[in-house]
Amino acid sequence: LTSKRYNVQRGKFSAVSEHDLKFFQELLGSHRTVLGEEELEGHNTDWLGTVRGASSVLLKPKTTEEVSAILSYCDQHQLAVCPQGGNTGLVGGSVPVFDEVIVSTALMNQVESVDTWSGVVTCQAGCILEALDQHVAEYGLMIPLDLGAKGSCHIGGNVSTNAGGLRLLRYGSLHGSVLGVEAVLASGEVVNCLSAMKKDNTGYDLKHLFIGSEGTLGLVTKVAINCPPRPAAVSLAFLGLQSFDNVLKTFKAAKDQLGEILSSCEFIDQSSMECVEGNLKIKSPLDEYPYYMLLETSGSNGDHDEEKLNNFLESTLGSGLVSDGTVATEPSKMANIWALRERIAEALILDGYTYKYDISLPLPHFYKLVEDMREHLGSNVVRCCGYGHVGDGNLHLNFTSRQYEKEILERIEPAVYEWTSQVNGSISAEHGLGFKKRNYIHYSKSLGAINLMKQMKKLMDPNGILNPYKVLPD
Ligand code: FAD
Ligand code: 2HG
Ligand code: ZN
């Protein structure tokens, strides 16, 4: 169990009793009060298969009122709670550490409204990202967020982690796209900040407290999201490059030449490519190169965008910045190229155990961290690879070994955080701190900031029942 590996002490919470179960069953009925080790296995274990809790009950509310009744009861009876969406989180935040009650948003999947004039969707937190995107597509809109886990993650989980994803470069962070949030505090009190207005400067903008706080300040029940028009035309260039310096220069050239239509700039190194090709048998349309890039354009005029992208490829091939490249506009070809990038996380798991780092860095230092860590770890690991959202300065640095080894973890941490902190990077760019990274928060935040966070936690969740052992340090 996680608690043993990480040496964490259980908080002074009550254990779930027969009396508590009776309350939950009366509130939700027995089919929405899920019991049993087998039934809970997938909810007690994280997507990576690296952390595991021992909850004995999972609750499936359908409404805000039911969430409110659950939290109010848990608060009064000193029961700890772990909010869970699609359980695709990568920092151990979405599963219990001990026997916390799991509150799942799986049945909170109703879309309330789509305002087609302003392009705003208001929905419950448990809508699956891909399904929600398909829903707004009927109105010519898109959700301004896309990530490899779209088929499973919930929009409430996305908001609670402030997920970044593949198109943050174009559409910005959820702190900008989310217009409103409804959340339930630990006490059961419903905080309605569900404005669907683009502009609303009435007092403190409390919704931001729930965006990225990973279920430690409240349980998000509804969101209102600003949806851009769905682009009529999408094109994708896949490039092979000889040096990381050329990657940076190509990114700069893409911003200059593709400016307003550039919607994604992603990066894959050779080792990550070998992993996805070798472990998942996906074929790359290019030969082997030390570095690869995906550059996507989205716009309203396909011919115009394709011509721009082809000209860009011609000029960067001509100048030698890019060594080889291909442009795809056909959906199945683009999907195959995207799979090479989006499925790396899945491919890494097949090596054995994954040590995962999600780092923000100033671009000149971006790949040096991978090189230094590769040298530092040598043949102790099966793989040390780097990929990610280079257009946002977000490196996904991963190590694998056949199975978990404490010695390897101790060689990686805190070295990787010290390196990052020395160049003023962030030790968690988009995945959050969850359970695994919380005790390293000081590498990216000042003592004053951490103390204020602790005071906010105390104010909003005085008994500390919401996702204990997560985000804030011991
Ligand atoms: P969960 O994993 O269930 O929960 C995540 C955290 O939020 C937990 O702390 C949980 O307690 C809390 N939480 C969940 N729902 C609520 C709620 N309603 N109210 C309050 N707290 C809640 N992340 C990125 O940022 N960018 C990526 O590109 C990206 N790609 C990924 C690709 C793959 C293949 C996978 C497996 C993961 C990826 N992730 C990425 C990480 C993950 O998908 C995101 O963090 C996602 O936003 C989590 O959503 P979820 O519904 O699965 O939340
Ligand atoms: C991605 O961008 C995800 O693919 C996962 O954020 C990153 O596996 C990782 O390290
Ligand atoms: Zn990512």
pLDDT class of 1 with cuts at 50, 70, 90: low
User: CA–CA separation, 324 vs 292, rounded Å?
Assistant: 9
Cα(105)–Cα(88) distance, integer angstroms: 13
Q: Nearest to residue 409, comparing CAs of 89, 7, 98?
A: 7
Q: Give CA separation, 321 vs 106, 112, 228, 245, 314, in Å.
A: 47, 49, 33, 9, 10
d(CA 271, ligand 3 centre) in Å: 17
Residue 232: CB atoms within 10 A of its CB come to 12
Model pLDDT, residue 359? 98
Closest ligand to residue 386's CA: 2
pLDDT score, position 6: 86
Would the pLDDT of 386 be above 90?
yes
Q: Which amino acid is at 279?
A: N
Give the residue-averaged pLDDT of 377-385. Answer: 97
Protein residues with CB under 6 Å of any ligand 1 atom? 47, 82-90, 93-94, 105, 125, 147-149, 153-154, 156-158, 160-161, 163-166, 214-215, 219-220, 345-346, 430-431, 434, 467, 470
- CB contact at 8 A, 220 and 160: yes
Report ipTM (2 d.p.). 0.99
Answer whether residue 267 shows pLDDT above 90: yes
Give the number of whichever ligand sits closest to the CA of residue 398: 2
- In CATH, the architecture of 2-107 is 2-Layer Sandwich (3.30)
- Closest ligand 2 atom to the C-alpha of 166? 2
Read off the pLDDT band of 323 (50, 70, 90). Answer: very high
Fold observed for domain 351-432: Alpha-Beta Plaits (3.30.70)
* Average pLDDT of the segment spanning 148-155: 98
pLDDT over threshold 90, residue 4: no
Tell me the pTM.
Answer: 0.98
pLDDT tens string 171-180: 999 999 999 9
Longest C-alpha distance within the chain, in Å? 73
Edge-first strand order for the sheet with 383-389 is 324-328, 233-241, 291-299, 262-269, 383-389, 394-401, 353-360
- 470 pLDDT more than 90: yes
Structural domain spans, the chain = 2-107, 111-226, 233-344, 351-432
Please tell me the number of the ligand nearest to residue 394's CA: 3
| Residues of the chain above pLDDT 90, percent | 98
Would you state the pLDDT for residue 192? 98
* Residue 69's pLDDT band (cuts 50, 70, 90): very high
- Which tokens belong to 45? 């274990």
Write out the CATH class of domain 233-344. alpha beta
Q: Give pLDDT tens digits for 337-372.
A: 999 999 999 999 999 999 999 999 999 999 999 999
Ligand 1 atom 25 nearest Cα: 163
**pLDDT confidence band for 67 (50 / 70 / 90):** very high
Give the ligand 1 atom nearest the CA of 82: 11
Q: How far is the CA of 396 from the centre of ligand 2 (A)?
A: 6
How far is residue 446's CA from residue 258's CA, in Å, rounded to a whole number?
Answer: 38
- Contact of 69 with 23, CB cutoff 8 Å: no
**Annotation: CATH topology of 111-226:** 3.30.465
Q: Do domains 233-344 and 351-432 have the same CATH topology?
A: yes
